[in-house]
Amino acid sequence: MATVSSTGPVTLRRMMPILVASTTGTAIEWYDFFLFGFLSAAVFPKLFFPTLDPLTGTIASFTTNFVGFAARPLGGAFFGWLGDRIGRKATLVSTLLLMGIATALMGFMPGYTSIGIAAPILISVLRFLQGAGVGGEWGGSVLLAMEYGDDRRRGFWASWPQTGVPIGLALASIALLVFKSAFPGAAFISIGWRIPFFLSLLLVIVGLYIRLNILETPSFTKVKEENRLSKSPFLDTFRYHWREVILTALVRSAEQAPFYLFTTFVLTYVASVLKMDTTFIFDAIIVTAIIEFCTIPLFSIFSDRIGRTRWFAIGSVLMALFAFPYYWLLNTKNPAIIVIAVILSVALFHAWLYGPEAALISERFGTKVRYSGASLGYQLASVTAGGPAQLIAVALLKAYHSFVPVAIYIMIMGVISLVAALLLKDYARKAAVEDAA
């Protein structure tokens, strides 16, 4: 692994500009992505599918949401190829621009009553572009931090772009709360929900300014200077690392699927099953995001010390064991207890897995194909776990009128991650995988 400088140690002070650049970008990308996710549960069923009953409309809305997840592996493949060919920095600028423009255009979208079936089709196209941007963003942001850092604290350094998730989650929640208050009732459905999308452009400008002022990573620079760039990063990834791509996609199951149940499906569950107002859920998510911002790097430090795969295996078991208690807490209908359930689900059990995940995935690919390999391994889970999770949960709820099948689904995801983690080699406190000959 390369360091910031060949003549000095890697310190927090030396890493700070890199961590800010990588984390700021991911925070903006996830702000955009979560906005759509929240609104697909709370607003889009009425706006784009007004002729359907509430639960069917929610399923249709989550289907448009799934388009973004389906696009993420494609974005990961394309931008991964770009990142391994022309560099991490230029690619990250491209993903940020794509995401910001697609998100801003969403704010201009008319509803079904104005242009009919064209409305959900157009919003799906923009969601696809948004998902492609996220698909390319994650790998570059993580590599920016990882390839400037050192082996001994790789989990810690690589975890900082992961904190973009709670930051984006909190920003999206705050934006929706503010504009729901400013535009109450029908006004929010017609105009209020659009403004947070417009604000995305301001965040993108800030992110671009920060990213344009950083240098290319030392690892990629060295490979480029030595004329060792891969001519076909995508093909080389599967030629030398197909097993790692599959296992890293599967290992994310216990983190990826439950996360979207904990942050977006919970809105549907609280409103449709518990018959409660969901405003306090956004408050809970904001508090949860603040706590998770601290637990993500903390748990990543632990993974550096006790082993990444061991830490991840333990977390997968804990996630599975939490499935039923989570819904028992929700079913009390006590707002304070529900807030505790939200905090535990994300700030503890999700953070346990999500923090060390960046290093766990990235460190098993060589520099020449690391952007492609890490992006594909990470983003394929969007199709196998994250994207279908909300659709599966709503379908199970509609079919069985019970949380039990949903809890069992979470447990199955935990078992899949456990098996995959046990099959992966541990690279904590060791050199990352070298490039294949």
* Closest C-alpha among 315, 344, 10 to residue 156: 10
113, part of any domain: yes
Residue 1 has a pLDDT of 39
Q: How many domains does the chain have?
A: 1
What is the residue range of 386's domain? 12-217+235-422
Residue 435 has a pLDDT of 61
Residue 269 has a pLDDT of 93
pLDDT at residue 162 greater than cutoff 60: yes
pLDDT in tens, 361-411: 999 999 999 999 999 999 999 889 988 998 899 999 999 999 999 999 999
Q: What is the pTM of this model?
A: 0.88
pLDDT in tens, 216-246: 888 888 888 888 898 899 899 989 899 999 9
Segment 334-353 mean pLDDT? 97
Confidence of residue 3 (pLDDT cuts 50, 70, 90): very low
223, part of any domain: no
Specify the CATH number for the domain of residue 352: 1.20.1250.20
Percent of residues, the chain, with pLDDT higher than 70: 97
Structure-token match 């990250």, residue found: 92
427, part of any domain: no
202, part of any domain: yes
pLDDT at residue 194 greater than cutoff 70: yes
Residue 7 has a pLDDT of 45
Whether the CB-CB separation of 99 and 134 falls below 8 Å is answered with yes
430, part of any domain: no
Residue 437 has a pLDDT of 45
Phi/psi for 283 (5° steps) reads -60, -45
* Closest C-alpha among 6, 33, 76 to residue 375: 76
434, part of any domain: no
Lowest mean pLDDT among 26-30, 104-108, 362-366: 26-30
225, part of any domain: no
Residue 243 has a pLDDT of 94
229, part of any domain: no
